[in-house]
Chain A
Amino acid sequence: MNNYLDLSINELHELLVSGEIKPKDLVLEAFERIENNKDLNAFITLDKEGAIKRAKELENMDKSSILYGIPIAIKDNITTKGLRTTCASHMLENFIPVYDATVIEKVNESGMIIVGKTNMDEFAMGSTSQTSYFGAPKNPWDKTRISGGSSGGSASCVAARLTPIALGSDTGGSIRQPASYCGLVGMKPTYGRISRHGLIAFASSLDQIGPMTRNVYENALVLNTLVGYDKRDITSAKRETEDFTRLIGTDIKGMKIAVPNYFMSDIVDEEIKTNVNNVISLLKKHGAKVDFIDIAHLEHAVTLYQIIAMGEASSNLARFDGIRYGYSADAKNIDDLYEQSRALGFGREVKRRIMVGSYLLSGDNANVYYTKALEIRAAMKKSFDEAFKNYDLIIGPTTTTTAYHLGEGMDDPRKTFLDDVLVIPVNMAGLPGMNIPIGFNKSHMPIGMHIIGNKFEEAKMYALGAFIEKELQLNLEVGEHHE
């Protein structure tokens, strides 16, 4: 068997352009790897036939796109025309979308080949991917552990090198936390960078699609193709086209970096803090200025998230009523249809969040909780804005722990929210946030660092991320995964 998929995208591009390999070779290799790693449960739906057909079509097409012929996996909450999109839910188990999400159009335009749809928490609600109707995906570094969530399948897929690229979505850390648990680069771009048209909504004011890749440079390459204003998502931003790789390799000397005190407090594992501190020393050694600062309301992040995300979710998921699409129970009357379709179609965590969200928006609660949460959210955002007046970037750990064992924490629904305490503030403020791997703990599970940028400053984040990546030279190959 060939191991082309271990090569960098630049190397693959040369081979594809020269004709030494064809897109079909990469597709077949990807499916061989997927087959050999079935136990990871990274995918919900595979599209081998469609991918091979697409690979053949590409043979006679323009090869200039850097991502031409590269296999990609898509989180299963992004609509793909004609290809089942389940949100890892019984509710959408047989749902075939009638249209492509905007990002899927862009993926296709850039010549990438979609191999399938990845596993996730049901409707992206969870931090472990264990709420999936199709069972949890596993962490390639230790298959008894979670790969994180909600983009756990995408993380497993790229960490095991089944495809070089996957798309995830991030509402409260769902790209960055699994990227951290699996030793990947995962970017949640600025809110509005990427069209959400075709992203099945969890919490609309927080959701954002982003790339998950093996390294920083390739992440920037993928982001180049995904961004742009889309008239079908009026929250998407009108921005000049830019090359997100452009600052990679520039000197970090004089860069001003802040570390929020809360991010290095005792809520974080010592091993993780040690690794982050090592990076801080490295940055200082190379002439960056690193200060510890305070950002307001970080400690309220989880509470804010529970109110805002669940409130929005309770409304966003009302459309699944058993009438037009999705699971539809046999029912005697309309109330029965609603109750049974939703009782049987949704899993426990989704129903819990819908109920909590409905409660939070009911009557006076909307003022007591929701409006108050929006106020604190605005204050937190302002505090970030203040910080970015003095600093280029903010860093810290991505997670408080490394990936834990499957089944852990499932008895306490509040626990998994606490995993996301460091990543949620970024969604609340609409900022870009990225995980990069910075080391391993004593169980050899990956440790991640969180880089937070000001709005639309992803390029700067990639510059710092690439610098750290280059200095650390970590071996991020799981090893025996595709034997």
Chain B
Amino acid sequence: MNNYKKTIGIEVHCELKTATKMFSDSLNSYDGKENSHINAIDLAYPGTLPLINFGAVHVALKAALLLNCDINKEMVFDRKNYFYPDLPKGYQITQARKPIGTNGYVMINVDGEEKKVRIHDIHIEEDTAKSIHSGEKSYLDFNRSGVPLIEIVTEPDMHTEEEAMAYLHKLRELFIYADISDCKMEEGSMRCDVNVSVSKDDTLGVRTETKNIGSISSVGRAIKAESKRQIEVLENGESIREETRRFDEKDEVTILMRVKETGNDYRYFPEPNIPTIYLDDEDVEAARKDIPKMPDELRSEYQNLGVNENNIKTLIGNRELCNFFEKVKQSDPVITSNLLTGDILSYLNKNNLTLKDIKLTVDHIIDLVSKLKTNELSSKQVKNLLPVLMEKGGNVKTWMDTMGMVQINDESALKAMIEQVLKENKESVTDYKNGHDRALKYLMGQIMKVSKGQANPATVNRLLVDTLEHFDLNK
């Protein structure tokens, strides 16, 4: 049973992040009621013709470049004909003859090993409307009708669940970073069909397609379930049919939807309403320039800056936070990454907010860091200031005054405080003298407490060590 080799190919559909739809100028948005972002084109009213959203073409170009594809600058569209209530024209406009990108690849990393997954092609098409079934009735929401999609088709280059999942994680990371798609599988802005076959030798087995899997981890489980099923069928001496299946999350099995007959007859032909569109080098360059730094590049850069691995992971996993970090990191990568992934992120998570919703600015962070470095602020004070800045904004200095955050740098005042604390904590002083370093930390804390957090910690530290050296326990 173990000598079967799995072969996996994946087709991913991603909705593009654009202002308007692919072939009409109604909004590409899911805000508002059902059927609120529609026009005569989206409903395929008689006499309507497709427009071209060049913004969507730009985004698709970015995707094709990110996946290292050859770009087809001669852009043509085709019609894929079939009847379905969510397809108002009775055909989908797609790119069958000349996908915008071909012959690409993406590098994935599984267990520390780099592997290349080849991309057969990436093409532009339009989404369908959404069917909503309720009891006996079915309803159609055309807000999604005509939303720009790209479909990314791999070669059958993956052989394990882990590779398939790594590919999807990588695709998702790239597309989110380059602002191509928000890739939310649970909301359907990224959808995934998996082709699986098994074979004992180098020839490819008969493959099945498992459609519309709900999450990346489900893809792994679906592949496991489907390959297991195929092996059982083969071991029983039966053969695999070309089928379309779906994954049942609850029972961890794939279920037959339909047997593929001689290949679906979509009656493809060139879309006569869209003339050949010639992209030029400038279009391609504009897309290339619009691709920001990608996660792999960021990761090694952050490592070099001394940011710890946990922080790197958190930053790269959160596009918005990472963008913010890019703007503040020059002030101090370690401190700013700690602030962002620590207090700030937990405040956001706790209140279910994003950076857009709060009043904290890049300037605030830069200001805080510089005051930390000059000891105008202690880290405790920064901790207290952050919630106020996030909630209310305003000026750091003003808040410091309002909140009575004056740093005590006067050494004689600090010395008096230290003397007092040491007198009240003679046991700790003894501990320190006996070599217990923990005692120093405790004493520091006590002094900070007495100063209401206003003592300059670095000065206190220096003075404390000095005072301890000469402290007379019998005094």
Chain A neighbourhood of B90, CB < 8 A: 315, 317-319, 321
CA distance A337 to B316 in the complex (A): 51
Give min CB distance, A300 to chain B, whole Å. Answer: 19
CA distance A177 to B80 in the complex (A): 34
Q: Is A250 an interface residue (CB 8 A)?
A: no
Q: Tell me which residues from 183 to 208 in chain A have a Cβ below 8 Å from any Cβ of chain B.
A: 196-201, 203-205
Are B265 and A98 touching (Cβ within 8 A)?
no
Are B88 and A324 touching (Cβ within 8 A)?
yes
- Please pick, from A321, A323, A362, the residue contacting B267 in the complex, using a CB distance under 8 A: A362
Chain B, interface SS category: loop
Are A204 and B51 touching (Cβ within 8 A)?
no
Are B46 and A95 touching (Cβ within 8 A)?
yes
Are A98 and B49 touching (Cβ within 8 A)?
no
Q: Is B32 an interface residue (CB 8 A)?
A: no
Are B89 and A318 touching (Cβ within 8 A)?
yes
Flag B263-277 by CB within 8 Å of A: 1 or 0 each: 101011110111100
Chain A neighbourhood of B52, CB < 8 A: 234
Flag B33-56 by CB within 8 Å of A: 1 or 0 each: 000000010011111111110000
Chain A neighbourhood of B50, CB < 8 A: 234
CA distance A370 to B44 in the complex (A): 25
Are A311 and B273 touching (Cβ within 8 A)?
no
Chain A, interface SS category: loop
Closest to A101 in B: B47
Give min CB distance, A3 to chain B, whole Å. Answer: 36
Are A98 and B45 touching (Cβ within 8 A)?
yes
Chain A neighbourhood of B79, CB < 8 A: 315
Are A315 and B47 touching (Cβ within 8 A)?
no
Are A79 and B83 touching (Cβ within 8 A)?
no
Q: Is A306 an interface residue (CB 8 A)?
A: no
Chain B neighbourhood of A203, CB < 8 A: 272
Interface residues on A, range: 35 or more
Flag B69-105 by CB within 8 Å of A: 1 or 0 each: 0000000000101010100111100000000000000
Are A363 and B89 touching (Cβ within 8 A)?
no
Are A315 and B81 touching (Cβ within 8 A)?
yes
Are B81 and A361 touching (Cβ within 8 A)?
yes
Are B269 and A199 touching (Cβ within 8 A)?
no
CA distance A325 to B85 in the complex (A): 13
Give min CB distance, A455 to chain B, whole Å. Answer: 14
CA distance A231 to B50 in the complex (A): 10
Q: Is A296 an interface residue (CB 8 A)?
A: no
Are B268 and A234 touching (Cβ within 8 A)?
no
**Contact of A201 with B275 at beta-carbon distance under 8 Å, contacts A315-B91, A370-B269 already known:** no
CA distance A235 to B140 in the complex (A): 30
Chain B neighbourhood of A361, CB < 8 A: 81, 267-269
Chain B neighbourhood of A323, CB < 8 A: 85, 88, 140
Which of A87, A98, A318, A362 has the largest number of chain B CB atoms within 10 A? A318
**Contact of A321 with B91 at beta-carbon distance under 8 Å, contacts A92-B46, A201-B47, A234-B52 already known:** no
Chain A neighbourhood of B44, CB < 8 A: 319, 324
Give min CB distance, A324 to chain B, whole Å. Answer: 6
- Please pick, from B47, B140, B265, the residue contacting A362 in the complex, using a CB distance under 8 A: B265
Chain A neighbourhood of B262, CB < 8 A: 363
CA distance A197 to B270 in the complex (A): 19
Are B46 and A200 touching (Cβ within 8 A)?
yes
CA distance A321 to B50 in the complex (A): 19
- Please pick, from B40, B140, B275, the residue contacting A98 in the complex, using a CB distance under 8 A: B40
14 of the cross-chain contacts (CB-CB < 8 Å) are: A97-B47, A98-B45, A203-B272, A204-B273, A231-B51, A234-B275, A235-B274, A315-B79, A315-B90, A318-B83, A319-B44, A319-B46, A325-B46, A338-B83
Which 7 residue pairs of A and B lie closest in terms of their CB atoms, listed nearest first? A318-B90, A205-B272, A361-B267, A204-B272, A198-B47, A200-B46, A319-B44
Taking Cβ atoms with an 8 Å cutoff, the residues of A that contact B are: 78-79, 85, 87, 92, 95, 97-99, 101, 196-201, 203-205, 231-235, 311-312, 314-315, 317-321, 323-325, 334, 338, 358, 361-363, 366, 370, 374
Instruction: Give me 15 other A-B pairs in contact (C-beta within 8 A), A200-B47, A232-B49 excluded.
Output: A92-B46, A98-B40, A200-B46, A204-B272, A205-B272, A233-B49, A235-B272, A311-B269, A312-B272, A314-B267, A320-B46, A324-B44, A325-B46, A361-B81, A362-B267
